[in-house]
Each structure stands twice: as structure tokens, then as C-alpha cells.
Amino acid sequence: MNVITKSSHMYARALELKKRGQSIGLVPTMGALHEGHMSLIRQARKENDVVIVSIFVNPLQFGGGEDFSRYPRPFKKDFSLCSRASVDYVFNPAPSDLYPDGFSTYVEVDNLSSVLCGKSRPGHFRGVATVVNKLCNITCPDIMYVGQKDAQQSVIIRRMAVDLNLPVVIRVMPIIREPDGLAMSSRNEYLNGREREDALVLYNSLMLAKNMVKAGTRDVTRIISAMKKFIRVKKNALIDYVAVVEPDTLVPFKKITGQCLIALAVRIGKTRLIDNIVLTVKKKP
Amino acid sequence: MNVITKSSHMYARALELKKRGQSIGLVPTMGALHEGHMSLIRQARKENDVVIVSIFVNPLQFGGGEDFSRYPRPFKKDFSLCSRASVDYVFNPAPSDLYPDGFSTYVEVDNLSSVLCGKSRPGHFRGVATVVNKLCNITCPDIMYVGQKDAQQSVIIRRMAVDLNLPVVIRVMPIIREPDGLAMSSRNEYLNGREREDALVLYNSLMLAKNMVKAGTRDVTRIISAMKKFIRVKKNALIDYVAVVEPDTLVPFKKITGQCLIALAVRIGKTRLIDNIVLTVKKKP
């Protein structure tokens, strides 16, 4: 496995691989790799001649009061996980390589970026879209692998790829959960014992919603109210949002119909966690 | 020569050419081709195996009160000019092909886009950066040719290419002028006889500035004042801006030193024209 730190070197190598007719799978990450990331890497390994994992804690997608500086960076452990998963290249650039002096170009996905997580994290998805666009140009992937855990992010990346004619397929892979249901996240390591228990409230509120829908409830206001009430029982939990939206446009639903994305963000102590499920309800004939 | 109207077809063809090891030169235009465009095409022809000229009147770069609908579209004449210049492909998509329903992704170059022409044309350079980014992804050029006539545009495109790691060289070609000095522009055809005469004031004011600098003037305020006074003699002429700036950052100069870009935009009747020169002044030892 090769670790490459300069984008010019990474691009030169990617171009060489493309010229030799090799297919490239890219897994863009911020490191602190967990089983969620590994599932993307394994899928990339199955479908491509060459697998590139980018590890870059992207300053552009962190807001002023957010956890950029304390975000976990266990790069050595990450490299070894990648190596064991038969990754070919880890691309691990410095911020000054991706954002040199005078940097001033941003990719913005309007509308989709200002709802849900975008409301409380202004500029976040601009940072995501910009870095993903750059990573595509640097690593020339045929397929890019992202996780459904970041549902809004994956919608935005898919929209950007279509809108800007990026020649890449975006493969969205299912959420990987701990045995008790907590969605895997690099931020889970911020949680202390009590918070780790309380964090289950995200998944359990989604299960509550799922069961309500199964039992016939279609009114979104009722579902969201029930979820919020359920979450508020935990004193450590502060709701950012609970939303039921159309999975591609993120437009809120009033009544559950067809496919819908139920997504939420909840602060457990100081740690902001997100989770979601997609439900499919058959329209009545 | 092939005329291609679908971006999916254009990309498939470009990819095929790249796989065969062919180099591609792209000349992005809005059509209404004149000798300025032809100079770009000739240069592209010299330096590449394959020349693609895109002809697309980009709605995204026109503001509300601007001339999008009346912008000249002599596409048949353009095709024949391209054919005679041994262009290989004309890419001539419909707006609905480049901006399908739900389109919402934009490329923004901060700072550089809000000065000079950007002040009176908000959103203009966002439209330019977005379409040029798309055209790059669709046509896979090794070299893209743009004109120094649109000095700010060329600075913004160069900045975007660097910032987003677009694998393309941006070649900026000199302004082509009519025998009397008027910079060639598709918008010159809007001018009636009297306006055509008055339009010379742009070039002549730049020559005035050049002569002042040659005679030793270094104070930018004095140069700009003299240019404005000279232009205002023409009753038909309404100044948008006259500026002396650093050629890469577009930051205004107070004193002429090193390389400087003198740029101006002037409305002649209803037609907004731009022009510029780059001067190099050796620093005193």
C-alpha cells in the first residue's frame, strides 16, 4: 500500500492507472475509520482494479464552534486498517496542499444544502461539495463510495456529480450499526458511558417511527411529535431536528407516501449525532 | 466536422479520444464567432490532435436586465467558420441539456468575482465558472483557450482550475482588435454607425493611460481621472468602471509598479463594452 500526500503525485498516479485501463474506486473519509468505512472499502475492493482511500479532516466543512481541532486523527491505525483491507493507495494530503494560499473557489449545491443539517451547520455542505469535487479531479474514480449514514451528504454529492457532469458513479452503502443499533460514527468515541447509553435514543426513535408507520400512521406531524417526545425523555439529549422528507429532494412530507427518509440530529451532551432510515410505503390502489 | 448536441455523447466521444491518446483543445464560446475566437481556434489547432469548439449562449451568466434573448446566434455561420478552421467537433448543447430540471450546483470564485465587472453583473462570474467547469468535465481538454479581452474571466477560470484541481492548462490569448483599435466582441454588432465611432473611446483611453505611464506617471488616481475625463467627452459613453489592478489578484494599485492590468467597462448607448491592457513597469533599481 502506498501513502501519497501530494495531490500532484496522486493525480499523476491516477492518470497513469487510467491510461493502463485500470478502474478506480474512491472511498473519501476523514479517517478515524470504523466498520462503516470498512464496508465501503470492501465494496470498493470488490468492484475495482484499484482502491484509493482518502483520509483528510477537511477544515472547510467545520464551523467556528465545531470539533475540527479535536476530531480524532488516529492516522497510523487508519493506515494499518487500510493496508489489511488491501487498499492500494491512501491519499492523505495536508490542508495546505488542498487549500493553498489564495484558494477561493467553492462548489455550492443550493437548496439541498440549507435544510436539515445545513440549518445548524452553515457552510458545512459547501465544504463537503468542494472537497469531494477536488478529490474526484485528483483521484479520477470510476466509482465513489459514500455512506447512507450521512444521508443529506450523499444526496448533495449525487446532485453535484450530475449537475457538474462529473464522470463518476456515486455508490451509497447502507448504514452499519453497533449490535444495539447505534449507527457507527467517528464521533461515537466522544461519548462517555452514560452518553453512549443515551445515544441509543436516535436509533430507537427511528424504530418507533417505523412501527408507527407499520401500524398505519401516515400523518408526519404525529410521527415527528412522538419521536421528539420519546427523545426528550433523555435529559442529556437536545434535538437539533427530526424530519420526514423525500429522499432525493429533501422536501418535507406531510403524509407518508412512497419512499421517505426519516432523519434526525440530536446532541448527546456535547456530541452531535445523526441517524436516519428510509421507509417505503405502498400507495393504496 | 461533427456537431454534437448532447453532453453524454460529447463526453463519450472525448473519453474515446483520450483513451486513444489524443490531445484535446477546447475553445469555449457563446458563438457569434469573430476574429478573436478564430485566433483561439487556430492556436488550438496548432497545439492539439483534436479541437472542440463549444457554442453555448449560457443563460446562467446573464443578469435579469441583460441581453440574453437578443444575444446574436448565427449558428449556421459559426458552424461553417469552424468547419473551415478544421475544427473537429462543435459542441452545441441546449440549455435544458446543461441545466436539466432540479439543477442546483454552482461554482463560485470568491473575491475575484465581486470586483470590476462583477460589481455591476452579480452572478455573472458564477455562471461563467459553473459552465466552464461543466464544459471541462464533458470535453476533457488538455488545454482550454480563452481570450485576454475578458481579462477578469480568464483570471477567474485560471483560479478555478487551480483551486478545484481541474487537469487542464488555461491558455490566455491576446486581444484581437479592429484596424482602428476597437477590441473584437460579439456585442460590437449592436452598435450603430455613430456608436461604433464613439466605442473607440475605450481603446483610446487605454492608449492615453499607456502614454502617461510611458511619460513617467505612476499615480493611479491621476491616470484613472485622466481616462474618465477623456471618456466623458463622448455624450454616448457611460462609464461603469476604470480600474488599475494587479493582474492575478485584481487588487487595486495605488502606484503603478511591476505588471498592472488597466481595465474598463463603458456603456456606449445601450451596449456595454469592455477592454484592457497589461503594462509592465520596471521597478527603479
Q: Domain holding B255: CATH number?
A: 3.30.1300.10
Q: Please determine, for residue B284, whether its predicted confidence score (pLDDT) is greater than 80.
A: no
Minimal-distance CA residue of chain A relative to B6: A165
Say if A113 falls within a structural domain. yes
Based on the fold, state whether residues B169 and B196 are members of the same structural domain: no
Based on the fold, state whether residues B193 and B135 are members of the same structural domain: no
Minimal-distance CA residue of chain A relative to B133: A164
Minimal-distance CA residue of chain B relative to A160: B105
Q: Please determine, for residue A285, whether its predicted confidence score (pLDDT) is greater than 70.
A: no
> Taking CB atoms and an 8 Å limit, are B106 and A107 in contact across chains?
yes
Per the annotation, the verdict on A34 as an active-site residue is: no
Reported ipTM: 0.96
Q: Please determine, for residue A282, whether its predicted confidence score (pLDDT) is greater than 90.
A: no
Find chain B residues with C-beta within 8 A of A109's C-beta. 104-105
**Closest CA–CA distance from residue A107 to any residue of chain B (Å):** 5
Mean pLDDT of B14-26: 96
pLDDT in tens, B169-225: 999 999 999 999 999 999 999 999 999 999 999 999 999 999 999 999 999 999 999
Provide the whole-model pTM. 0.97
> Taking CB atoms and an 8 Å limit, are B134 and A15 in contact across chains?
no
Instruction: Grade residue B282 by pLDDT with cuts at 50, 70 and 90.
Output: confident
Residue-wise burial string across B221-260, b where 16 or more C-beta atoms lie within 10 A, e elsewhere = eebbebbeebbeebebbeebbbbbbebeebeebeebeeeb
Based on the fold, state whether residues B18 and B128 are members of the same structural domain: yes
Based on the fold, state whether residues A169 and A207 are members of the same structural domain: no
- Pairing of the two strands A258-268 and A271-281: antiparallel
Residue ranges of chain B whose CB lies within 8 Å of a chain A CB: 7, 11, 15, 100, 102-112, 129-130, 133-134, 137-138, 159-160, 163-167, 249
Q: Considering B149, B173, B197, which residue would you say is the last residue of a domain?
A: B173
Say if A210 falls within a structural domain. yes
Say if B285 falls within a structural domain. no
According to DSSP, the residues that pair with A170 across neighbouring strands are: A144
Based on the fold, state whether residues B43 and B134 are members of the same structural domain: yes
Provide the domain count of chain A. Answer: 2
pLDDT of residue B148: 98
Say if B179 falls within a structural domain. no
> Taking CB atoms and an 8 Å limit, are A110 and B105 in contact across chains?
yes
pLDDT of residue B285: 59
What is the pLDDT of chain A when averaged over all its residues? Answer: 97
Of B7, B11, B159, the CB nearest to A104: B159
- Sequential DSSP letters for A28-68: EE-S---HHHHHHHHHHHHH-SEEEEEE---GGG--TTSST
Say if B156 falls within a structural domain. yes
Instruction: Grade residue B270 by pLDDT with cuts at 50, 70 and 90.
Output: very high
Based on the fold, state whether residues A121 and A233 are members of the same structural domain: no
**Chain A interface mutation, best of B164, B169, B246, highest count of A Cβ atoms under 10 Å:** B164
Find chain B residues with C-beta within 8 A of A137's C-beta. 164-167
In this structure, what CATH number is given to the domain that contains residue B159? 3.40.50.620
Based on the fold, state whether residues A166 and A225 are members of the same structural domain: no
Say if A219 falls within a structural domain. yes
Find chain B residues with C-beta within 8 A of A105's C-beta. 107-110, 129, 159-160, 163-164
Find chain A residues with C-beta within 8 A of B111's C-beta. 104
Based on the fold, state whether residues A142 and A203 are members of the same structural domain: no
CA of residue B246 relative to chain centroid, distance: 18
Cα end-to-end distance, chain B, whole Å: 55
Based on the fold, state whether residues A46 and A147 are members of the same structural domain: yes
With H, G, I as helix, E, B as strand and everything else as coil, classify residue B235: coil
Residue-wise burial string across A249-281, b where 16 or more C-beta atoms lie within 10 A, e elsewhere = ebeebeebeeebbbbbbbebeebbbbbbbebee
Contact B1, B28 (CB under 8 A): no
> Taking CB atoms and an 8 Å limit, are B112 and A106 in contact across chains?
no
Of B100, B129, B167, the CB nearest to A137: B167
For residue A282, give the DSSP letter.
P
Query: What is the residue range of A212's domain?
Result: 186-277
Q: Please determine, for residue B40, whether its predicted confidence score (pLDDT) is greater than 90.
A: yes
> Taking CB atoms and an 8 Å limit, are A164 and B111 in contact across chains?
no
Contact A226, A200 (CB under 8 A): no
Say if A144 falls within a structural domain. yes
Phi, psi of A12 (to 5 degrees): -60, -45
Q: What's the Cα-to-Cα distance from A18 to each of A11, A50, A139, A155, B55, rounded to whole Å?
A: 10, 10, 10, 27, 29
pLDDT in tens, A110-160: 999 999 999 999 999 999 999 999 999 999 999 999 999 999 999 999 999
pLDDT in tens, B126-144: 999 999 999 999 999 999 9
Say if B283 falls within a structural domain. no
Of A11, A159, A249, the CB nearest to B105: A159
**Chain A interface mutation, best of B22, B60, B101, B104, highest count of A Cβ atoms under 10 Å:** B104
Find chain A residues with C-beta within 8 A of B108's C-beta. 105-108
> Taking CB atoms and an 8 Å limit, are B165 and A134 in contact across chains?
yes
Q: What's the Cα-to-Cα distance from A174 to each of A52, A250, B187, rounded to whole Å?
A: 20, 18, 53
**Closest CA–CA distance from residue A30 to any residue of chain B (Å):** 19
Q: Considering A151, A173, A195, which residue would you say is the last residue of a domain?
A: A173
Based on the fold, state whether residues A160 and A242 are members of the same structural domain: no
Of A103, A106, A163, the CB nearest to B104: A163
Based on the fold, state whether residues A120 and A234 are members of the same structural domain: no
pLDDT in tens, A36-57: 999 999 999 999 999 999 999 9
Alpha-carbon span B78 to B224, nearest angstrom: 38
Q: Please determine, for residue B6, whether its predicted confidence score (pLDDT) is greater than 70.
A: yes
Instruction: Grade residue A284 by pLDDT with cuts at 50, 70 and 90.
Output: low
Based on the fold, state whether residues B209 and B87 are members of the same structural domain: no
Find chain A residues with C-beta within 8 A of B167's C-beta. 11, 15, 137
Contact A269, A238 (CB under 8 A): no
Of B100, B104, B107, the CB nearest to A111: B104
pLDDT in tens, A150-199: 999 999 999 999 999 999 999 999 999 999 999 999 999 999 999 999 99
Find chain B residues with C-beta within 8 A of A138's C-beta. 165
- Read off the C-alpha cell for A130: 468542494
Selection from B228, B176, B189 nearest residue B206 by Cα: B228
**Closest CA–CA distance from residue A156 to any residue of chain B (Å):** 9
Q: How many residues does chain B have?
A: 285
- Sequential DSSP letters for B192-214: -HHHHHHTHHHHHHHHHHHHHHH
Find chain B residues with C-beta within 8 A of A165's C-beta. 7, 11, 134, 137-138
